[in-house]
Amino acid sequence: MYKILIVEDEVTIANTLKNHLEKYGYDCHTVVDFEKVLDVFQDVEPHLVIMDINLPAFDGYYWSRKIRRVSNCPIMILSARMSELDQVYGIENGADDFITKPFLMDVVLAKINGQIRRVYGEYAKKPQTRILKKGNTALNLDTVRLSTSEQEELLTVKELQLCAMLFKAFPNVVTRQQLLTAIWDDEAFVEENTLTVNIVRLRKKFEAIHSSLEITTIRGIGYQLTEKSL
């Protein structure tokens, strides 16, 4: 079941979208706290986002940019703004499509179906699979999934980059500075705990799939991917 995150502060519109799309088999989630849109996005890990522009605190352009830094999932702008400039600005800030209000539900549904087919379904490109394996665990660089024979977890873009560096360095240590430099464009502007937070999330995903691997902290240096002791 494909998941859709609806970022819309008009409750009536959000609920209308949610109820209609769920009739067609989509798993829909709505945002309540509009200061934590990115946090909700990372918790839900949706396959597509419907984004309003006029939102409390920060507008939809801001959140589209934030989401685009960690994910390539389709973003559809849904807004009462109708100017060409707004549409161009939406696309330039990471959106894949722009729908103006008032809208027809059938048009929204058709556009969502088209994006899902393009990115995940029959129209998606089928590149040669790139997989890194260690122990009982595989990291698929194309499907962005960490898996064992028992279970799999979808990764964010940053988690994928971190995981790939640790897999490729195995069993060597990767320093914090190496990770920051390789994954964040300008590490000088990354908060001190940003890397730590991403490592914690990645560890939980290793545990969730019952991996034989674990991420070990090498105090004062960085991190190391190791096999668990039996």
**Number of other residues whose CB lies within 10 A of the CB of residue 163:** 25
Cis peptide preceding 74, ω within 30 of 0 = no
Q: Would residue 29 count as lying in a domain?
A: yes
Does the residue 105 lie in any domain? yes
pLDDT of residue 124: 57
Domain count, the chain: 2
In a domain, 125, yes or no: no
For residue 88, what is the domain's CATH number?
3.40.50.2300
Structural domain including 14 reads 3-120
pTM for this predicted structure: 0.56
pLDDT of amino acid 185? 57
What pLDDT is stored for residue 187 in this prediction?
Answer: 47
Q: Where is the domain boundary, 120, 144, 170?
A: 120
Please indicate, yes or no, whether residues 61 and 103 belong to a single structural domain of this protein. yes
Residue 223: its pLDDT value, please?
A: 94
pLDDT of residue 81: 72
What integer pLDDT is reported at residue 40 of this predicted model?
Answer: 94
Q: How would you write the pLDDT of the chain (230 residues) with one tens digit per residue?
A: 899 999 999 999 999 999 999 999 999 999 999 999 999 999 999 999 999 999 998 999 999 999 988 888 999 998 887 677 777 877 888 888 888 888 889 999 999 999 998 888 765 555 555 889 999 999 998 888 999 988 999 998 889 999 999 999 999 999 988 888 877 754 445 566 788 888 999 999 999 999 999 999 999 899 999 998 75
* Separation between Cα atoms, residue 98 and residue 87, nearest integer Å: 6
- pLDDT value of residue 64: 92
pLDDT of residue 123: 59
| Shared domain check, 110 and 21 | yes
Q: What is the CATH number of the domain that holds 196?
A: 1.10.10.10
